[in-house]
Amino acid sequence: MSVSGIINSHLIMAAAIERHGTDEQKQKYLPKMAAGELRGGVALTEPDAGTDLQAIRTTAKRDGNRGYVINGAKMWITNSIHGDCMALLAKTDPKAEPAHKGMSLFIAEKGKGFKVARKLEKLGYRGIDTAELVFEDYFVPADCLIGGVEGRGLQQVLGGLELGRINVAARGVGIAQAALDEAVKYSQTRKTFGKPICQHQAIQLKLADMVTRVEASRLLVARAAETYARGERSDMEAGMAKLFATEAAMENALDAMRIHGGYGYSTEFPIERMFRDAPLLLIGEGTNEIQRIIIARQLIERNPA
């Protein structure tokens, strides 16, 4: 089971409640989530809305003062099969302009109308349960609206996504380091032309690039984590860490496979799993293309002419 992947979605939901929830919501959910008695997740992405969350179609209509009736579907939702509740993003005002002003975030516990439609099979990260969810006249009480205020859902979840991106970046460091460790070990035992391949210049060049990526990634992740921990805005720092560390994971996995040769492509060594797991990090919690846009916009905003 990929514990880091499970914890990531769980932490994003907890961060949204901790930063924006009412006192009652914090008291009800956070102790149980911290103790592992309640597994949470975030239900944002939809079949036709991934990066562009303002395009979601899931709606939450008021049912008097009792609560909301939710209809719609969510896709690629982690922890949704074995989890207990989700931070669910829905439109309380589908006609709002701009669209984000009509979006709200709910604490959605499993129950009538909350359906796990199908498990999604993946190339890698198979230890994490990922599924499509369908909501059909699913009722949530009014006190499950995070913060008790409509129209703040997107802003409420974005802070959690900063933490999620730092977590994904840390996983990128983990894969990059693991690939480096395997490559170093193998290069000292595998021999060609009468000497270990680590003595060949072509292999040394790859190893040098791999270790440099690891160390640079680790420093970027540490900086982003420290910025977030201080309560400062960290979307640029989280974006840089996520971008660089996940690309490092992908590049190191590929270089490790090349150093291992045919063995790197076999299931006898762990390299093939790293090569399958790394691509998800380039996509999850905002694609790396989106991270580049976030970084550039923040760079300009922080350095006005």
Helix (H, G, I), strand (E, B) or coil at 165: helix
Task: Give the helix ranges, DSSP H, for the chain.
Answer: 3-20, 23-35, 153-189, 201-229, 235-260, 271-283, 288-302
Smallest Cα–Cα separation from 298: which of 247, 238, 246, 226?
Answer: 238
* Residue 226 annotated as catalytic: no
Strand partners, 69: 61, 139
Cα separation, 239 vs 44, whole angstroms: 19
Cα separation, 27 vs 23, whole angstroms: 6
Q: Residue 73 in contact with residue 135, Cβ under 8 Å?
A: yes
Q: Residue 256 in contact with residue 183, Cβ under 8 Å?
A: yes
CA dihedral for 112, 117, 118, 122, sign (positive or negative): negative
Q: Which residues of 281-292 are buried (b: 16+ CB within 10 A; e: fewer)?
A: bbbbbbbbebbe
Cα separation, 88 vs 12, whole angstroms: 12
Smallest Cα–Cα separation from 285: which of 172, 158, 165, 155?
Answer: 165
Cα separation, 14 vs 231, whole angstroms: 15
Catalytic residue among 247, 285, 289, 301: 285
Q: Any idea which residue has 């499993």 for tokens? A: 110
Residues with a known catalytic role = 285
